[in-house]
């Protein structure tokens, strides 16, 4: 399941992010990649635990905590602190898979990367290239979103970032361990959840309340069966 979540950051927050990131010193992104990914990764990144990355990451986390679409789609259990990258001057990240398990910087903890998230920070008109191309069972999908919008996709996907041939592409990216490990189960729950919300929101005569309650029971019983905490 590939889901776009609009307006994770607002215009004022984006402006603040751009001001802060303009002054930062980037590192070679290969430092955080596995051996195979290093061969195809050509970008710049803020090091783990960079104070600015931590500060901006907390802004993103606060926004996502209030985002019902994110919660319904990801059913998050643990979220790796957001990282930041910068592509310019032909930077690219060729086809790769993300590691299944990632250490949480500065701790003994690890998370399983059930979902990957990319939050676009740059206006898509300000740079050429830089599409995130995600392969799923229906083929490749090109994603290039408005600044402030985020894409969520399964950690199992092969994906790449096309070369940025003009301008600068800033993004935040991070991984989520979900309460529900499998993508197809998360999709069933998400579709059911949305249908219940629609049903509950229809009409003023309360005729939908009974069926919506029945379906909400099904939703929670499925979640109870599938969730791992």
> Applying CB under 5 A, does 135 fall inside the site for Ni ion?
no
For residue 128, state whether it binds Ni ion (rule: CB under 5 A): no
Residue 177 CB, nearest approach to Ni ion (Å): 16
Closest contact distance (angstroms) between CB of 132 and Ni ion is 9
Among 28, 48, 98, 136, binds Ni ion (CB under 5 A): 98
Q: Transcribe the chain into DSSP letters.
A: --EEE--SS-HHHHHHHHHHHHTPPPEEGGGGS-HHHHTTEE-EEPPTT-HHHHHHHHHHHHHHHT-HHHHHHH-EEEEPPPEEEEEETT-EEEEE---SEEEPTTSS-EEE-SEEEEEE-S-GGG-EE--EEEEETTEEEEE---TT-EEEEETT--EEE--EEESEEEEEEEEEEESS--HHHHHHHHHHHHHHHHHHTS-SSSTTHHHHHHHHHHHHHHHHHH---
Q: Does residue number 48 form part of the binding site for Ni ion (CB under 5 A)?
A: no
> Does 123 contact Ni ion by CB under 5 A?
no
Contact pattern for Ni ion over residues 161 through 200, marking x by CB under 5 A = ----------------------------------------
Q: Does 136 bind Ni ion (CB under 5 A)?
A: no
CB of 44 to Ni ion, least distance (A): 15
- Interface residue list for Ni ion (CB under 5 A): 98
């Amino acid at each position: 399941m590939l889901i776009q979540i609009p307006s994770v950051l607002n215009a004022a927050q984006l402006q603040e992010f751009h001001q802060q990131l303009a002054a930062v010193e980037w590192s070679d992104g290969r430092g955080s990649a596995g051996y195979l990914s290093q061969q195809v990764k050509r970008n710049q990144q803020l090091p783990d635990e960079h104070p600015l990355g931590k500060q901006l990451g907390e802004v993103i986390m606060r926004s996502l905590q209030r985002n019902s679409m994110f919660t319904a789609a990801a059913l998050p259990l643990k979220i790796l602190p957001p990282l930041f990258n910068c592509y310019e001057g032909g930077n690219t990240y060729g086809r790769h898979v993300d590691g299944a398990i990632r250490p949480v910087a500065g701790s003994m903890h690890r998370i399983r990367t059930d979902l990957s998230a990319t939050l676009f920070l740059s206006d898509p008109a300000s740079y050429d290239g830089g599409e995130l191309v995600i392969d799923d069972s229906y083929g490749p999908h090109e994603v290039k979103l408005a600044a402030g919008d985020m894409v969520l996709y399964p950690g199992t996907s092969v994906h790449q970032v096309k070369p940025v041939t003009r301008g600068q592409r800033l993004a935040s990216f991070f991984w989520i361990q979900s309460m529900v490990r499998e993508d197809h189960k998360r999709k069933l729950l998400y579709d059911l959840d949305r249908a219940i919300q629609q049903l509950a929101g229809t009409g003023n005569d309360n005729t939908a309340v009974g069926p919506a309650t029945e379906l909400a029971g099904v939703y929670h019983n499925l979640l109870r069966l599938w969730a791992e905490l």
